[in-house]
Structure 1
Amino acid sequence: MAREVAGLSVSVEVEAALAAGSPVVALESTLIAHGLPRPRNRAVAVELEAMLRDRGITPATVAVIDGVPTVGLDDDTLGRIAGDPGVAKASVRDLPAAAALGLTCATTVAATSVLAARVGIRVFATGGLGGVHRGAAETFDESADLPTLAATPITVVAAGVKSILDVDATIERLETFGVTLLGWRTSDFPGFYLPTTGHRLDWQVDGAAQVAEAMAVRDRLGLRSAIVVANPVPAGQALDEAIHDDVLRTALQQADELGLRGKAVTPFLLETFHTETAGASLEVNIAVVRNNVAVAAEIAAAWASR
């Protein structure tokens, strides 16, 4: 069951947790609908929610169901997101259209952040952020995640950005947008498949209490931008660096030879990674999200205990 709160449908479980001041962590649904193969996607979605509940945290998976932005899915709606290949992907700009047309959509990092923050959720776990795409100087191809995080007071745990993006430009844009970037027990910006990209971070935190304090200071100062906690995948679960570099180099060359531009490039590169690594990149993807959910749980608990 759910009821409408602030123009959204919020599950009774999530609403009760928020009312009680108990810890809640938002989860995105694009990973479920578009990031993982069926039927494993549903198993992973259930696992991530179970991880949070086992730690005393209420999960709040976000999606648009029949045109209604929804925070907290039940078994039926989670099954629809995981099982229906026709589920669209909705960023912030798509929410009004999805509502008007009564569509069921998975939400991106940007849309999940906005909807979660609107009902008072302060912590969100995802895999990796969207960023500035290679060649963006010509295509202007930049993820809506970045400007959305500039105006959304939520703390996002992510493993940096995938190396298929322009990492330098993404970090610069985060700085320009005033997004606080904290390394979780690291001073290196992680590269999703790899623990580091070789880019140094200005700030490192060693525990959840420090993140919660940063959140509190942001509130006191009236800042509206997000905090991104960059959590590297453990070295033992990362993609082999030599394989990663070889596949990336080959994939970029093939994309150029095929004349791929703009939005066509990223799906091609991701599919090439999956194929050329014999599915190893998929396992890293899942490991990344598990680790981010675990860190988000710590942060949400620390925030709730303040």
Structure 2
Amino acid sequence: MILRDLIELVRAPAALSVPGDAVAGAAAADCLDGRTAGIAAASVCLYWAGMAANDWSDRELDAVERPERPIPSGRISPGQALAVAGGLTAAGLAIAGAAGGRRTLATAGLLVGAIWTYDVKLKNSPAGPAGMAVCRGLDVLLGASTGSMRRALRPAAVVAAHTYAVTALSRREVSGADRALPLGTLAATAVVATAAARRPPNNTNSSRVAAIEGGPGGRATTATTVTGGWSGAVRDAASGLVGLVLAGLYAQKFGRAQRAVLRDPAAGNVRAAVGAGIMSLPSLQGALAAQHGSPVAGAAVAVMAPLGRRLVKAVSPT
């Protein structure tokens, strides 16, 4: 096994679509800090583990449909692929626990269960797209696990809906699709983009309520203080603008690839649309982070999209 074979096995460039889950979740949960980087690293390990487990599970099917993949081509043995999947799973859990503590480790454990259940049981069943959507939704919640996870349910649902659409397309990468499939996924993409472009109604940086000790008579009083004034308003405006632009970029990139499938639902166009769905995800994650008050982090996540499109020319993300 050489490095290039390992890179192909785990679809290494596609991991650029992963850190944004943690950022979007942390931004929504108001816990975007240094721990988020460690949680994102754990997510990448678990994503790579899932890719290796996917190929190990599909080795007999790939021998017929994808003989060029690392296992059926003989470049990586099934045992090596399983060892890679297991090692990366253990690494992901260890990093998650070290970065975020017990609740992060517990959430990572749920994610591991969902990943392996999808790869071993659900992937080729009618429940496959839903199983993969659950994995991505949990990955967003993993990013929120050091804060208010309840507040991250909305971005988790948005990312899960996108993942469902991409996974539904991916099931027709070999055989091609009928036109009903891209019509359905295009409609889902429009809903997802609209949800990502909208500002959460309870998200504002304009004011907060603070308890001030030492009021008249030495008693505590409660006062409303303005935090940021104009700077808070500017940040709110920037968040909305960045989120709107990134949601538009997501819809444009992924939508264009799906329209190509609608015109010609051949297998090659379906694979291209799946790749576009994977590599447009950073734009979606960036929009969600921005709309939850983190426009700089959202823009930084979105930069991974064009970088990923360059890298997938060398290694397929599907």
- Greater helix fraction, Structure 1 or Structure 2: 2
Q: Same fold (TM over 0.5)?
A: no
- Greater strand fraction, Structure 1 or Structure 2: 1
TM-score after normalising by structure 1: 0.31
Q: Bigger relative contact order, structure 1 or 2, given CA contacts below 8 A and separation 6+?
A: 2
Larger Rg: 2
